[in-house]
């Protein structure tokens, strides 16, 4: 057989390094800080709701947009927590994790040649999907100096008449940066005058420390231009359940539904029952996990700064993004040397785009004991480098 001709766009996807580091995370001899996944098991009452649904034989397909009862809970939590109103019938789709919401949004909206602005350092999966759609990435570089926020000046400089989408992700993976309502107002002022759709990936909305989560959809005139994406993985420690959702206008949701319903038929039924329980009764779980992450965050930032790796204080998510330039090493070399000499895995900042060069991503979604041991080894590594 002659070689299979794969989709030519595949070859345009930049070769990621994340893959290698995620693989290392499964090696028991390596102390890994590379995965962005809660170390907590899914709270018991949420697991029980799924077990109940199985025992009751609720194992059939659901509507492709998800169970209406789940969409009603999503609508109510967005109203209660973020003062955003979305109609459960026409404005919400339940998805297979936030990941599938992102994929469905990109596929539905993008045509070859469209430009998509992403804020870098950026979450790794945006680029490959956008590339598969034949669209062009326009990276906007953010910096530690202002907490990795998007500024109106940087946004203005990136917009052209081909700009179709702006992808926002605050709290940010990998930087832990957040945007306040005032920050978004300045951005909205520009966007209100443009035909640009915003994809706002708010998967870390429950993980902010000392600040209230803000959404660009809360700014006047922006709800109509925004696709808000969220999910259960981070807030409720439900990564393996693969459950997320997206909210927007009836027009946008109707169009995304055309693709979504054909692509997946419906999201996992059992997970949806677990999701209803999470939204109804999960506030205390979130509170408990957030307190724990916050405590780890303070320890990590304090120790990284003390060992000579300056780190802007992350106000959200569960990542620290320290500056490693004082080591004299590139991000890749730093991570390779740390791995080799101390068996600690962190992710090179440039895995999140060129703007991440000179940084590493340290995930503190690990137990305190694990984090402390990793920090001790990193400190020893830094001391050896200084000699
Ligand atoms: N967006 C961001 C910024 C993420 O960090 C992740 C998970 N790492 C996702 C989306 C995907 O989340 P899910 O598990 O809901 O697919």
Q: How far is the C-alpha of 61 from the C-alpha of 67, rounded, in Å?
A: 9
Q: Shortest CA distance to 176 belongs to which of 298, 287, 331, 343?
A: 298
Q: What is the pLDDT of residue 29?
A: 87
363 cis-preceded (ω within 30 degrees of 0): no
Residue 201 alpha carbon, nearest atom of ligand 1: 1
Q: Is the pLDDT of residue 302 over 70?
A: yes
Q: What is the pLDDT of residue 21?
A: 72
- Which domains occur in the chain, in start order? 8-42+284-386 (3.90.1150.10), 57-282 (3.40.640.10)
Residue 97 Cβ contacting ligand 1 at under 6 Å: yes
Q: What is the pLDDT of residues 114-160, one digit of tens each?
A: 999 999 999 999 999 999 999 999 999 999 999 999 999 999 999 99
CA of 207 to the centre of ligand 1 (A): 13
Q: How far is the C-alpha of 161 from the C-alpha of 149, rounded, in Å?
A: 23
Q: How far is the C-alpha of 41 from the C-alpha of 47, rounded, in Å?
A: 9
Ligand 1 mutation target, pool 119, 234, 317, most atoms within 8 A of CB:
234
Q: What is the pLDDT of residue 382?
A: 96
Q: Is the pLDDT of residue 91 over 70?
A: yes
Residue 99 alpha carbon, nearest atom of ligand 1: 16
Q: Residue with the nearest Cα to atom 12 of ligand 1? A: 98
The confidence band for 17, taking pLDDT boundaries of 50, 70 and 90, is low
Q: What is the mean pLDDT of the chain?
A: 96
Q: 330-354 as b/e, with b when 16 or more CB fall inside 10 Å? A: bbeebbeebbeebebbbbbbbbbbe
Q: What is the pLDDT of residue 35?
A: 87
CA of 125 to the centre of ligand 1 (A): 9
DSSP 362: E
Euclidean distance between the first and the last CA atom of the chain, given in angstroms as a whole number: 58
Q: What is the pLDDT of residue 298?
A: 97
Q: Judging by DSSP bridges, how do beta strands 347-348 and 360-363 pair with one another?
A: antiparallel
Q: How far is the C-alpha of 204 from the C-alpha of 338, rounded, in Å?
A: 28
Which residues, listed in sequence order, are joined to residue 247 by a DSSP beta bridge? 92, 228
Any idea which residue has 């930049």 for tokens? 14
Q: 65 with 93: CB under 8 angstroms?
A: yes
Q: How far is the C-alpha of 336 from the C-alpha of 315, rounded, in Å?
A: 28
- The DSSP-derived string for 182-233 is HHHHHHHHHHTTS--EEEEE-TTTT-BSSS----GGGSTTTGGGEEEEEEST
Q: Is the pLDDT of residue 229 over 90?
A: yes
As a whole number, mean pLDDT of residues 219-235 equals 98
Q: What is the pLDDT of residue 19?
A: 72
Q: Is the pLDDT of residue 80 over 90?
A: yes
Residue 233 Cβ contacting ligand 1 at under 6 Å: yes
Q: What is the pLDDT of residue 205?
A: 98
Q: Is the pLDDT of residue 8 over 90?
A: yes
Ligand 1 mutation target, pool 98, 170, 316, 318, most atoms within 8 A of CB:
98
**Could you tell me the two tokens for 225?**
């231009």
The confidence band for 28, taking pLDDT boundaries of 50, 70 and 90, is confident
**Could you tell me the two tokens for 255?**
């169009």
Residue 98 Cβ contacting ligand 1 at under 6 Å: yes
- Report the percent of the chain where pLDDT is more than 90: 92
- The DSSP-derived string for 109-156 is H--TT-EEEEEES--TTHHHHHHHTT-EEEEEE--GGGTTPPPHHHHH
The confidence band for 26, taking pLDDT boundaries of 50, 70 and 90, is confident
Mean pLDDT is lowest, of 13-27, 94-108, 161-175, 176-190, for 13-27
Give the chain's count of helices (H) and strands (E): 12, 12
Count of CB atoms situated within 10 Å of the CB of 284: 10
Q: How far is the C-alpha of 36 from the C-alpha of 320, rounded, in Å?
A: 11
Q: Is the pLDDT of residue 24 over 80?
A: no
Q: 353 with 121: CB under 8 angstroms?
A: yes
pTM: 0.97
């Amino acid at each position: 057989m002659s070689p299979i001709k794969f989709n030519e766009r595949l070859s345009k996807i930049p070769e990621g390094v994340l893959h290698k580091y995620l693989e290392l995370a499964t090696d028991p001899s390596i102390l890994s800080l590379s995965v962005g996944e809660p170390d907590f098991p899914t709270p018991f009452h949420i697991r029980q709701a799924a077990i109940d649904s199985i025992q009751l034989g609720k194992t059939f397909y659901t509507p492709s947009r998800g169970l209406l009862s789940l969409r009603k809970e999503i609508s109510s939590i967005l109203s209660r927590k973020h003062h955003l109103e979305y109609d459960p019938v026409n404005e919400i789709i339940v998805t297979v994790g936030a990941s599938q919401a992102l994929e469905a949004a990109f596929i539905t909206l993008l045509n070859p040649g469209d430009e998509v602005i992403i804020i870098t350092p950026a979450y790794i999966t945006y680029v490959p999907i956008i590339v598969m759609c034949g669209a062009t990435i326009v990276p906007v570089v953010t910096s530690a100096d202002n907490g990795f926020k998007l500024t109106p000046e940087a946004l203005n400089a990136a917009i052209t008449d081909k700009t179709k989408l702006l992808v926002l992700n605050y709290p940010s993976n990998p930087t832990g940066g957040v945007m306040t309502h005032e920050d978004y107002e300045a951005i909205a002022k520009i966007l209100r005058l443009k035909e640009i759709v915003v994809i706002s990936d708010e998967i870390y909305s429950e993980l902010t420390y000392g600040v209230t989560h803000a959404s660009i959809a809360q700014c006047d005139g922006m709800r109509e231009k925004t696709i808000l994406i969220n999910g259960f993985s981070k807030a409720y420690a439900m990564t393996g359940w693969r459950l997320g959702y997206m909210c927007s206008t009836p027009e946008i949701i109707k169009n995304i539904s055309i693709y979504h319903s054909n692509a997946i038929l419906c999201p996992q039924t059992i997970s949806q029952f677990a999701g209803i329980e999470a939204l109804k009764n999960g506030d205390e779980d979130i509170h408990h996990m957030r307190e724990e992450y916050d405590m780890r965050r303070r320890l990590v930032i304090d120790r990284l700064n003390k060992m000579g790796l300056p780190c802007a204080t992350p106000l959200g998510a569960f990542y620290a993004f320290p500056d490693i330039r004082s080591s004299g090493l590139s991000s890749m070399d730093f991570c390779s040397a740390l791995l080799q000499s101390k068996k600690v895995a962190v992710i090179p900042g440039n895995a999140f785009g060129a703007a991440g060069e000179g940084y590493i991503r340290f995930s503190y979604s690990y137990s305190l004991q694990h984090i402390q041991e990793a920090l001790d080894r990193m400190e020893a590594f830094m001391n050896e480098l200084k000699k």
